[in-house]
Structure 1
Amino acid sequence: MFKKKSVLTFLQAQVAAFLGGITDYGLMILLTEVFKLHFTFSILISGTVGAIINFSINRFWVFKNQSGYSSHINSQLFKFALVVLGSISLKSLGTFMFQKVFQIDYKIGRLITDLFVSYGFNYPLIKNWVFKVNDKQNVIQSN
């Protein structure tokens, strides 16, 4: 059975991911279609902007009571940056593969790739590594 807190955390994280993701996706299209950047470069730039939004919402809303809210921001930022680098790399590669191998428009390929990367890579790492609660923090927060 799922705990209510786990389900709520998951749903909140999806809101954070959605807001970061919609910014990322919209900016990718803008940079590609209007500014004529190759979509892989657009994904790099838009992914960075979306990641800043996602990190901020996760830190200050989703995991604020679980991750040592007032401390460890440098560690969290470093870990989050590593997740973002992996995420952007996977999204760029996946989108490129869908476009080149399967001749799927980059916008559609990106959406397909995002589903796999978001649920199979980003969420587990953000929850269980970037904002992981350790036993010491649990003791401090429960007092």
Structure 2
Amino acid sequence: MLPTQRQGNMKRRLAEFFRFANVSLLATVVDYGIGYLLTHTGLTSIVVATGIGHLSGMIVGFFLNKYWVFRDTSSRETTTQLVRYVVVSLGNGLLNTLGVWGLNQLGVDNYWVVRILVGTTVFVFYSYVFTRAFVFMRKSRPVV
């Protein structure tokens, strides 16, 4: 591969990552917003609110990731991708919930501090890698 081809591939991958980050930000706003409302209206605990908020963000994230981030317009693989996305998202939700629980057990109970610290860690080390490699791994997928 020529250096200019590598640079082009790197730019496309970086653009894809930034689209993923934007979708994740939007899904996170949905997730945290619902969790915050549930927690601060007294409807549920921080741990349960984390799970419910995550499910809401997951729905937003799947469709935007499929059609905008990874530019997959095929309907043929949607069901399989959705199942894989749910598996990755459940892992994401589990990691977030366990992280929130762990920090809460250590006495950190500020909703925003706990959620942002845990959520950022899970995003950087888990979400993009598994979504790209496991959910939307079609070889025929355009890179742009």
Pairwise TM-score range, normalised by the shorter structure:
0.7 to 0.9
Name segments (4+ residues, structure 1) moved above 3 Å: none
Of residues 28, 39, 51 in structure 2, which corresponds to 1:44?
51
| Deviations, residues 20-52 of structure 1 (Å, cap 9, x unaligned) | 011101111001111430111111111001010
Show structure 2 runs of 5+ residues with no match. Answer: 1-5
Partner of 2:105: 100
Is the counterpart of residue 126 in structure 1 residue 136 in structure 2?
no
TM-score (norm 1): 0.87
Partner of 2:3: none
Q: How many residues align?
A: 135
| Deviations, residues 58-96 of structure 1 (Å, cap 9, x unaligned) | 0111112xx463320011000000011111111111011
TM-superposed deviation, 1:99: 1.7
Rounded to whole Å, the distance in 2 between the matches of 1:98 and 1:106 is 10
| CA-atom RMSD in angstroms | 1.7
Rounded to whole Å, the distance in 1 between the matches of 2:31 and 2:12 is 28
Is the counterpart of residue 71 in structure 1 residue 76 in structure 2?
yes
Of residues 53, 56, 61 in structure 2, which corresponds to 1:54?
61
Is the counterpart of residue 14 in structure 1 residue 35 in structure 2?
no
Q: Which has the higher contact order (CA 8 A, sep 6+)?
A: 2
Rounded to whole Å, the distance in 2 between the matches of 1:114 and 1:103 is 15
Contact 2:66/2:73 (8 A) holds in 1:
no
Tell me the amino acid that sits aligned with residue 38 of structure 2: L
Tell me the amino acid that sits aligned with residue 9 of structure 1: E
Q: Percent identity?
A: 24
